[in-house]
Chains A and B, each alone.
Chain A
Amino acid sequence: MARAFLHIAALIAAGLALASGARADELVPYKIIGDTIPEPLTGSPGDAARGRALVVARTTTCILCHSGPFPEARFQGDLAPDLTGTGDWLSAGQLRLRLVDASRYNPQTIMPSYYRNDGLVRVGRNFAGKPILSAAEIEDIVAFLVTLRN
């Protein structure tokens, strides 16, 4: 049943991509339950060390807005909550949804949707049709964020 649902979602997504003529990268289909995406986007588990490196890298953009327990990162933002202790109150499933598409639980949020490739305006040529992060990178970051405990 769940499998059939995912399959249909994938078909619809593919159909939309064709219809709009965009050469959007294929995204791994996922299912939202409540405020979570319970199932990992990849077959193999995320790597917390790689996730930490990603979060701290400027190009991933997290620390433009967030701060956190990253003593080596000199320039951190304060547009968003500090990530210290995130794993105490958010589950892997909740974190996955927030990273994949934060606008799904807060339509006004300024946090970008990291795993989305449609419904965006004037995306730069080099980024068009691509999600900000890959499915594997999302899983790495989720694996890292759950380890952030007070």
Chain B
Amino acid sequence: MIFWRAIAAATLLAAAPALLAGEIPPDARRSGYSFMGPDTRAMQDDDTSNPGMLFVLDGGALWAKKAGSADKACADCHGDATTSMKGVAARYPAFDKALARPITLDQRINLCRANHQQAPALPYESRDLLALSAFVAHQSRGVAITAGDDPELKPFVAQGRDLFMQREGQLNLACTNCHDDNFDKRLAGSPITQGQPTGYPLYRLEWQTLGSIERRLRSCMTGVRAQAYDYGAPELVALELYLMSRARGLAMETPAVRP
């Protein structure tokens, strides 16, 4: 009896995915929200004061608006977003069979524009693309993140992890040095978080606008005086994918507010 229980326990231990050194255990993962002051939290919590909600509203209008030479709206194919898009953003970046690589939600939206609407791609960080992706991701608010589960994504998650651990730039710092080893400390007075990707696209007070996770990652790279990857570069997608898999179980917050 005791013997069997010991074996069961051992099997459970063996089945749990091993945490690599320096990684944050699941029950210690915290959104950037938990590092913010009460005012910024209140701003995020109240939809009437959350400036990101204006983008979500715009995105809702674009969702229903016909576009491109196919003269179709997103809604014509996907119907009511509150059901068709619920949980979708929580599993992006996702593997695209045709391209044989992961794509971000922004890229997915532009593929629909190209393939299904015959409309030109919306530029990265343009108001319309941010609005559409905020609208789609907002349908996942409160949904637990599961991105990275698809076995085909494995090598790309690993690539993202390597990039996260890689020292870079003139200051020779890796993402992990700040976001695994030093969260809860202060960099020039401002709190360092775990770098969780729960809220994107989000409204950053410092930017005075909504921005994508790629914008955030590029500014962390510029901060360590590294050459930032271009928007849409496979390395940025891999980093975003690793961050999402690292955030497994945390709830989506789009549109979050950050200082």
Residues of chain A at the chain B interface (Cβ within 8 Å): 58, 61, 63-65, 74-79, 103, 110, 112-113, 120-127, 130, 132
Contacts and interface: CB of A to CB of B under 8 A. Distances in A.
Nearest to A121: B168
B172 A122 contact: no
Q: Secondary structure at chain B's binding surface: helix, strand, loop or mixed?
A: loop
Contacts of B49: none
Interface residues of B, number: 24
Nearest to B174: A110
A105 to B, nearest CB: 15
Contacts of B172: 103, 112-113, 120-121
Q: Secondary structure at chain A's binding surface: helix, strand, loop or mixed?
A: loop
A74 B169 contact: no
B187 A64 contact: yes
A114 to B, nearest CB: 10
Among the interface residues B172, B173, B227, B228, which one has the most CB atoms of the partner chain A within 10 A?
B172
16 contacts: A61-B171, A64-B188, A75-B188, A77-B188, A77-B189, A110-B182, A112-B171, A112-B173, A113-B172, A120-B168, A123-B170, A123-B225, A123-B226, A124-B222, A124-B226, A132-B171
A75 B186 CA distance: 9
Interface in B159-189: 166-173, 177, 181-182, 185-189
B190 interface: yes
A49 B222 CA distance: 30
B170 A78 contact: no
Contacts of B169: 120-124, 127
